[in-house]
Amino acid sequence: MAKQMIGEKPRRRRRTRAGTVLSEEMIVEAALRMLHEHGREGLSARRLGAALGADPSTVYRYFRSMDDLTLAIGDALIARALQDWQTTGDWYADLRLLGLRIYHAYLAHPHAAVLTASRVSGRPHEIAADEIVLSLLLSAGFSYETAARIYHVFIDQCLAFAALDAAFAALPAQSRRADEAMWRTTYAHLPPKTHPGIAATAGFLAARMASSSYPDALDMLLDNAAHQLQHQALAKTNE
């Protein structure tokens, strides 16, 4: 069960040493900057306090623990994906766009993505995203059971790719370049006699493997879902 946050009314709002009134949003934004600059290992209450110009203990006035803050960071990434979101009435197009928006929101903050992609926060924006996906599927005509199954695959696929690609983006530039070059060096020169599959596709691999396959994977998922919807409609017609 998700933790319930302390309400704003019973909690006395804290100020920085400069007199700025702190908020959950300010702390989350500072944490995102810290993750960007120092990586996951650099996120601490002490550093946050210094960045905010406040006592480190102030963080715990707004979040029960650093783990609680981690969940809020994940929810903030989803909030960015949902900003100005509007449905078009086309479930396929809407789900494709939503998947890409969530993916890119996470990828814009690689260290935060790796830290939060596997978590379930139960916070408002996460819940809103889940409701959007399920409502789109149900309004398209999927059964409750099928909608739940497709939702499960959709969100896990999106976050798994976000975490995978974010982990790569968080690597030192030298390591990223070395990994990408491997497809043009080692793989491209494997002999057909011993590695016929790799040799036959080496040029295509070199062209593709430096970019994410998430858009293709998302299309495959949605194409399969559309096929299931057609099959479901046909089965009802034949009843």
Q: Which pLDDT band holds residue 19 (cuts at 50, 70, 90)?
A: low
Question: How far is it, in rounded angstroms, from Cα 129 to Cα 22?
Answer: 27
> What was the pLDDT predicted at 184?
93
Dig out the tokens for 174 from the structure: 């030298």
> What was the pLDDT predicted at 14?
58
The CA-to-CA distance between both ends of the chain, in Å, stands at: 41
* Closest to 143 (Cα-Cα) out of 218, 228, 221, 237: 228
The residue extents of the domains of the chain are 173-210
| DSSP state letter for 54 | S
Q: Tokens 């060096």 correspond to what residue?
A: 185
Question: How far is it, in rounded angstroms, from Cα 191 to Cα 198?
Answer: 9
pLDDT, mean of residues 132-145? 96
> pTM here?
0.86
Question: How far is it, in rounded angstroms, from Cα 239 to Cα 237?
Answer: 6
Q: Which pLDDT band holds residue 56 (cuts at 50, 70, 90)?
A: confident
Is residue 147 pLDDT above 60, yes or no? yes
Give the dihedral sign, CA 26/32/38/40.
positive
